[in-house]
Amino acid sequence: MRDFSHDHRWLSINTATVRKQGDLLAIVEACARHGIRAISPWRDQVAAIGLARAVAAVREAGLDLSGYCRGGMFPADRAHAAEMRDDNRRAVDEAVALGAPCLVLVVGGLPHFSRPGSAPSHDLAAARAQVEDGIAALLDYAKPAGMPLAIEPLHPMYAADRACVNTMAQALDICDRLDPGRTGALGVACDLYHVWWDPDLFAGIARAGRERLLAYHVCDWLVPTRDLLLDRGMMGDGVIAMRPIRRAVEAAGFSGYSEVEIFSEQNWWQRPMDEVLATCIARHREVV
C-alpha cells in the first residue's frame, strides 16, 4: 500500500467539499495554493463560471482531475427520456473538455425523483432496468469519445430518490453485462460512505480489479448522522476503518487519487476554505 503519511500527492478534492465557500475559480486557486494536485468538479460549479473558463482555470493551475460529477439520473418517463439522454451526453462532452479520467454516474432512483415531472412509480425493479438501459445507451456515446463511465453505488438510504444501484456487486453485474471485455470504458466509483457497511465489500473490490476501479472517494460515517444527505464526516471523525479498504483497493490494482467528498451543511461548509483544505490534507496523511 502506498504511504500517504509524508505528503499529499494522491489527495484529490471533490469540489462539493467546499462548495459553499467559493466558486470553482476560488476552489482551484485554493487547491493549487495548498499543493493539492487534483480536483473533481461538479457540473453546476462548472456551469456557474462557464465551461471555457473552467477548462482554462484547471489547465493554468496545472491541476489533474480525478473525475467529473456527475452524469446519470437515468429513470425517466417517456416525456423526459430525450432530456435525460441529451443531459448525459452533455456531461460526457464537458468531461472530455475538462480532461477528466471518468464521468461519475449517480444513476437515479424512481423516475419522479430522478427526473422531476416524470410520472410517479414505485417499481424499483423497473427503475433498475431503466438505469441499465440508460448506461448502455450512454456507453455508445462515451466510448467513442474516450470517456470512461464510473457507476457509483450509493448507500441504500438513497435507493428511492438518488440511486437504485446500491452495492458494488450490483454495479459490477451491470459492468459485466455491458462491458464483458473489461475494456476500461465502464467501471465503478468506490465511495467509502456508500459501501463501508457492505459485508461483501472486499469481495467486490477484488472482483472489480484495476480495469473497473475508476475512482476512490473518502469521507467518514458519523454516529449519530443527523441528516441523510448533508452530514458526512471528515476522515477520522467517524467509524469507518479506512486503511484496510484502501489496502484492498490498491491490492486490486488501483493507483489513483483518494478523492475527498464531504457534504456537511452544519460543520465543514461553515468553515473557511483554507481550514477545510488543511484538515483534508492532515487527515489524508493520518487516517486515509
Minimal CA–CA distance to 225: which of 198, 193, 190?
A: 193
Among 228, 266, 270, 274, binds its own copies (CB under 8 A): 228
Minimal CA–CA distance to 214: which of 179, 244, 243?
A: 179
Closest approach of its own copies to the CB of residue 228, in Å: 6
The span from the CA of 66 to the CA of 125, in Å, is 31
Name the residue nearer to its own copies (CB basis): 56 or 160: 160
Q: How far apart are the first and last CA of the chain?
A: 11
* Residues in 232-261 that interact with its own copies by CB under 8 A: 238-241
Record the cell numbers describing residue 35, joined without a space.
499543493
Q: Specify which residues 106 forms β-bridges with.
A: 72
Closest approach of its own copies to the CB of residue 121, in Å: 9
Q: Does 160 contact its own copies by CB under 8 A? A: yes
Name the residue nearer to its own copies (CB basis): 6 or 223: 223
- The Cβ-side half-sphere exposure at 128, using a 13 Å CA radius, reads 13
Size of the site for its own copies (CB under 8 A): 29
Record the cell numbers describing residue 185, joined without a space.
470504458
Helix, strand, or coil here: 215?
Answer: strand
Closest approach of its own copies to the CB of residue 253, in Å: 23
Among 159, 178, 203, 282, binds its own copies (CB under 8 A): 159
Closest approach of its own copies to the CB of residue 220, in Å: 10
Work out whether the CA dihedral 89, 94, 100, 105 comes out positive or negative: negative
Among 29, 89, 90, 197, binds its own copies (CB under 8 A): 197
Binding site for its own copies (CB under 8 A): 110, 113, 122-124, 128, 155-157, 159-161, 164, 166-167, 170, 196-199, 221, 223-225, 228, 238-241
